[in-house]
Structure 1
C-alpha cells in the first residue's frame, strides 16, 4: 500500500524531512520525502496499511520547530518498488 501526503505550514527549513526520514527508517517504511516549490513537503511512503497509518500519526506534528497547519493525504493500492526511504532534493 502507498501513502501520499502533503504537509503545509512551517515545514521547510525546520528539519522536517530529516525527522520524517528517521521515523520511516525506524518503522521500516520505504519511499521518499521532499520539499515542494510552494513551501509544502511531500511524503510518499509504502508499507502495510497499519504501519502507514502509524507512520502518518507519528509524523503529523513534525519536529519541534515545525508547525503543521494542514495535511492532505490518501492511501493507494499501488507500490513503486522503493528499496529505502530517502530525502529527495
Structure 2
C-alpha cells in the first residue's frame, strides 16, 4: 500500500502545476497535501520518463548492478587494475 493515496485527477493537476513552474510548497498548500506527496509524484514521474527514454534507445540507467527498465544484471563488469596485474 502506498504512503500517499492520490487520485489520478490530483496527480495530473500536480504534474500540470510542475510543468508551469509552480513551487512545490505552493502546490502542496493549494491541494492541502504534505510536501512528501508532491515529492512522491515528482519521483514517479521522473522514473516513468527515464524508463521511456531507455525504451526509445536512450541512456540506460543502473541501480546496484541491475538495469532499471527490466531488472536484468548489467553486462558490464568492473575490474580493478591491481587485480588484473596478479594473473
Give the TM-score, by structure 2 length. Answer: 0.29
Higher RCO, Cα 8 Å, sep 6+? 1
Structure with higher helix content: 2
